[in-house]
């Protein structure tokens, strides 16, 4: 039986193979954040002569890319990208996700928005029928933490401040538990419209284009 790390290695390698047809001399690859994204970066380094640069969704990923000799561009220098590759904390059959367990949700959503395709990579434990068992992260302006928390309670959520954590943008995160979402896109819109919320960790309005899922039986490809 494969360990979770072995499953992550499997899907990270598969993701590099999946994106190879999109690579080229002027191509920028969008790269996410997290343990699975770290492994993707490691495998991507073996093909760094096949594309121009990467755009990273966090300082952590940027440092890992640069350390492996992959040029990293500021997103303001990037006109477009064929692919963005990132993991998920939860993903459903509609390829809607909860992301942000690592705290990079805002930059992840921004970088993903510039790419033509979002390739989600995950192991089978992340696939769920309904989103919400994993607490939904909200990046929040500091002065709005209590106001946003009160609003989340009126929606039926249980918000908890992520202690000792500040995002790359200098903001705290509220993790909101207590939801089982039939309409994740509607909840994303509601959360994003709460004053003080920078970004919510629901990626439902703009879901993944394809999901590569590592299972004990091999790689599974999910499309809508």
Q: Measured between alpha carbons, how far is 174 from 187 in angstroms, rounded to an integer?
A: 16
- Condensed to tens digits (0 to 9), the pLDDT of residues 97-137 reads 999 999 999 999 999 999 999 999 999 999 999 999 999 99
pLDDT in the model for residue 157: 97
Exposed/middle/buried for 50, CB within 10 Å: 0-12, 13-18, 19+?
middle
Task: Classify domain 4-127+205-216 at the CATH topology level.
Answer: Rossmann fold (3.40.50)
- Condensed to tens digits (0 to 9), the pLDDT of residues 17-36 reads 999 999 999 999 999 999 99
Active site includes 17? no
Q: Where in the chain is the domain with CATH 3.30.70.260?
A: 136-201
Cβ neighbours around 17 below 10 Å, total = 12
Q: Measured between alpha carbons, how far is 186 from 45 in angstroms, rounded to an integer?
A: 38
Over residues 8-18, the mean pLDDT reads 97
pLDDT in the model for residue 147: 98
Over residues 56-62, the mean pLDDT reads 98
| 201 known member of a binding site | no
- Condensed to tens digits (0 to 9), the pLDDT of residues 139-152 reads 999 999 999 999 99
* Catalytic residue of the set 6, 90, 108, 116: 108
| 89 known member of a binding site | yes
Q: Name 187's Cβ contacts closer than 8 Å, sequence gap at least 6.
A: 136, 155, 179, 181, 202, 204
| 57 known member of a binding site | no
Q: Measured between alpha carbons, how far is 84 from 105 in angstroms, rounded to an integer?
A: 14
Over residues 76-102, the mean pLDDT reads 97
pLDDT in the model for residue 121: 98
| 34 known member of a binding site | yes
- Assigned CATH class of 136-201: alpha beta
Q: What is the reported pTM?
A: 0.96
165: pLDDT strictly greater than 90: yes
* DSSP code string of 98-127: E--TTS-HHHHHHHHHHEEEEEEEEEGGGB
pLDDT in the model for residue 179: 94
| 36 known member of a binding site | yes
Dihedral over alpha carbons 148, 145, 90, 118 (to 10 degrees):
90
153: pLDDT strictly greater than 90: yes
214: pLDDT strictly greater than 90: yes
Q: Give me the percent of the chain exceeding a pLDDT of 90.
A: 98
Over residues 150-160, the mean pLDDT reads 97
| 48 known member of a binding site | no
pLDDT in the model for residue 12: 97
- Going by C-alpha positions, the residue among 80, 73, 26 that lies closest to residue 54 is 73
Q: Where in the chain is the domain with CATH 3.40.50.1360?
A: 4-127+205-216
Average pLDDT, the chain: 97
224: pLDDT strictly greater than 90: no
Over residues 161-171, the mean pLDDT reads 98
């Amino acid at each position: 039986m494969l360990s979770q790390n072995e499953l992550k290695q499997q899907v990270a390698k598969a993701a590099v193979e999946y994106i190879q047809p999109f690579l080229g001399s002027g191509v920028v690859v969008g790269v996410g954040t997290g343990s699975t994204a770290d492994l993707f970066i490691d495998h991507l380094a073996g093909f760094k002569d096949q594309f121009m640069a990467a755009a990273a969704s966090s300082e952590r990923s940027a440092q890992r890319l640069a350390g492996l000799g992959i040029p990293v561009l500021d997103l303001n220098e990037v006109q477009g990208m064929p692919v963005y590759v990132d993991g998920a904390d939860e993903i459903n059959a509609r390829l809607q996700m909860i992301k942000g367990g690592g705290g990079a949700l805002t930059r992840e959503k921004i970088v993903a928005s510039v790419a033509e395709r979002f390739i989600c990579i995950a192991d089978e434990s992340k696939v769920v029928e309904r989103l919400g068992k994993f607490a939904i992260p909200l990046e929040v302006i500091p002065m709005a933490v209590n106001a946003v928390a009160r609003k989340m309670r009126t929606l039926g959520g249980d918000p908890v401040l992520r202690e000792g954590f500040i995002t790359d943008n200098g903001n705290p995160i509220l993790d909101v538990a207590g939801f089982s979402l039939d309409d994740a896109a509607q909840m994303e819109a509601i959360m994003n419209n709460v004053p003080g919320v920078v970004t919510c960790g629901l990626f439902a309005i703009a879901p993944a284009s394809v999901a590569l899922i590592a299972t004990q039986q091999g790689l599974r490809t999910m499309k809508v």
